[in-house]
Amino acid sequence: MAREFTRVGVVGLGTMGAGIVEVFARNGIDVVAVEISEGALERGRSTLTGSTDRAVAKGKLAAADRDALLSRVNFQVGLEALHSVDLVIEAVPEHLDLKQRIFAELDRVCKPEAILATNTSSLSVTEISVATTRPNQVIGIHFFNPAPVMKLVEVVRTVVTSADVVADVEALCNRLGKVDVTINDRAGFIANALLFGYLNHAVSMFEGRYATREDIDAAMKLGCGLPMGPLALMDLIGLDTAYEILDTMYRRGGRDRRHAPVPLIKQMVTAGLLGRKSGRGFYTYERPGSPVVVPDDQTPVASQAALADGARAIAKVGVVGSGTMATGIIEVFAKAGYEVVSVTRGAEKSAKVFETVKTSLNKGVVRGKLSEDDREAALGRINWSATLEHLADVDLVVEAVVEELSVKKALFASLDEICKPGVVLATTTSSLPVIDVAMATQRPADVVGLHFFNPAPVMPLVEVVQTIRTSAETTATARAVCAALGKTGVVCGDRSGFIVNALLFPYLNDAVKMLEASYSTADDIDYAMKLGCGYPMGPFELLDVVGLDVSLAIQRELYLELREPGFAPAPLLEHLVTAGYLGRKSGRGFRDHTRR
């Protein structure tokens, strides 16, 4: 049987420490909450009471339960107060020497059978444990912020942590209503090892002026369903904390260049731009500690007039293609009031596209999202054709044919001959260089990428991809069209993966490498990212949905363009594709979908 923890200690009452105190006290466990000084103790007490008062105000905690919770907490200055606790969790800043000093003192103060735990998110639990005479009783218990809300706890065992200690802590997590994943002591554990490479890459994009902070964040929120964009998340975490985590992971994790902190992070930390807590980071906040973003000198003008500034008038749109993406784009434009010319490779395909669009519009009516009159009006705006010549008088052409460069180049060469001057020619490619397509025409200034996400009628994001030859007028037109469609258009350069895929797929690839190294299971890695980071899907769930072959092709393109060793596709991903395990579409990928 697991041991019963009746009294625990928490060292450090910052945001995380106070949150951990609340978690234990909410679950009927007495807590000795310790700080270094009376002032720090009062700040910790204020953090705890503020959190519980907000819970009461939101109806998530009864006033009587809040009072009972607070009565279980004994606030004390100094580690001596922890002499009788069964377990102590340290939640002080991420500095190894500081944690080692605290653990050496805890080893002296605490009773011999007490478990000593660290909430570190990046440092070596093993190196912390050797500061004590009881390393077999030292373990990592990594809560996620905010601790009262986030369900995940990473239980980190060292090579000498007792199996009984691990079992006792796992049982405790269950008692606290948390989902635990038990892992070995490795830099970044699961969540941070996957999260911070992605965050660092996003900062690199911003530093290189590839896209604005707003567009990078909007792309990942709207394109991937993430709760926060990467730069806003960096501000929440704190740039100083992020720098320490990245630096530690770089030094401890094999010196992967993708974990080497982007120079801009260190510059911002040095300048005191730490994020929300200092009132300014990548964004500017109402005041230090406030989550409210206020306009600054980098904030774009978001008015409709500003979006349309310099844009050409678009009334009639041609869509070339007959696949899922083409049919979705046809529906989007028709519902938005544009006259649409749909061009396919024959009457049979046109009839099929018509039925698909009609079925989708009918579903909108059934769900109450569209009136019958609006459906009929949308269908009435679509002209069906099997010849490109019918695009002679359109204002915009959107190409959505197969992802083969030779096919797209041949199509754009034909469009160049057929379309009138000034027409914007757009490709929906998600992986090919837009400039290669543009140079198949005599009007590369009029060519732009419009990367819709699937399903196009539902997904709110469009990546507007400008090449080095795309004119400002063409980009402005593309942005104005996105706005007229009710989509968020994010502008980026013509680089492999654009914003979303360039940030998403290396993270997925890292997850495969983690599984390949037998560090954790696919289930635990998925749990870690969903419960610890708030992702809508775990990486292996997402890979099976996207298709392992598609994912491998995108990762190969990223690697070929950037030549970054860390972007090399994971061998396990290549082996699964070779074996025909492509994900849900083949019945098996990282999981067996035939049994579900």
Question: Residue 65 corresponds to which amino acid?
Answer: D
Asked if residue 22 lies in contact with residue 65, where contact means CB atoms within 8 angstroms, the answer is: no
Which of helix, strand or coil describes residue 474? helix
What is the rounded CA–CA span in Å between residue 596 and residue 594?
6
What is the rounded CA–CA span in Å between residue 564 and residue 256?
10
Enumerate long-range contacts of 581-584, CB under 8 Å, 24 or more apart: 581/548, 582/547, 582/548, 582/549, 583/543, 583/544, 583/545, 583/546, 583/547, 583/548, 584/544, 584/545, 584/547
Which value, in Å, is the radius of gyration of the alpha carbons in the chain?
27
Q: Take residue 175 and report the two structure tokens written for it.
A: 């008692």
SS3 per residue for 205-247: HHHCCCCCHHHHHHHHHHHHCCCCCHHHHHHHHCHHHHHHHHH
Q: Among this protein's residues, is 154 annotated catalytic?
A: yes
Non-local CB neighbours of 410 within 8 Å, separated by 6+ positions: 440
Which residue of the set 119, 121, 122, 200 is catalytic?
Answer: 121
**Neighbouring C-beta atoms of residue 372, cutoff 10 Å:** 10
Q: How many CA atoms lie within 13 A of 534 on its CB side?
A: 15
Dihedral sign computed on CA atoms, order 107, 113, 118, 124: positive
Q: Among this protein's residues, is 142 annotated catalytic?
A: yes
Q: Among this protein's residues, is 586 annotated catalytic?
A: no
Backbone angles phi, psi at 62, to 5 degrees: -75, 150
Which residue of the set 124, 129, 192, 586 is catalytic?
Answer: 192
Q: Helices 239-252 and 230-237: crossing angle, nearest 10°? A: 100
Which residue of the set 22, 90, 94, 154 is catalytic?
Answer: 154
Q: Among this protein's residues, is 80 annotated catalytic?
A: no
Distances (CA, A) of 413 to 15, 407, 408, 444: 59, 10, 9, 11
Give the end-to-end CA distance of the chain in Å, rounded to a whole number: 35
What is the rounded CA–CA span in Å between residue 172 and residue 184?
19
**Residue 396, Ramachandran bin (φ over 0: left; ψ between -120 and 50: alpha; else beta):** beta
Which residue of the set 142, 201, 259, 451 is catalytic?
Answer: 142
Placement of tokens 């928490």 in the chain = 10
Asked if residue 447 lies in contact with residue 469, where contact means CB atoms within 8 angstroms, the answer is: yes
Residues annotated as catalytic (active site), given as ranges: 121, 142, 154, 192
